[in-house]
Amino acid sequence: MKRKAVIDRLREEARRRGFVFETEELTNHTAFYVGGHRSTLKRHTEIDEITAKAFWDQFASVFGKGWWRS
């Protein structure tokens, strides 16, 4: 899965639910802030499905469990 698609899904969900979506470039990662929660993602063009789901799951406290499935 393309990195852009992983990020776009998170950004769209934040927008849909009215949360502020922010990014910060770190040394080897990009940090994403949504609803007071922060998570990072490495800068690779391709993100495997397992990593993408684990990344999205880190925002379950903000959006609810399994939010990416809907």
Q: Identify the burial level of 67 via C-beta atoms within 10 angstroms of its C-beta, where 0-12 means exposed, 13-18 middle and 19 or more buried.
A: middle
First-residue to last-residue Cα distance in the chain: 18
**Is the whole model's pTM more than 0.75, yes or no?**
yes
Q: pLDDT tens for residues 21-69?
A: 999 999 999 999 999 999 999 999 999 999 999 999 999 999 999 999 8
Q: Binning pLDDT at 50, 70 and 90, where does residue 70 land? A: confident
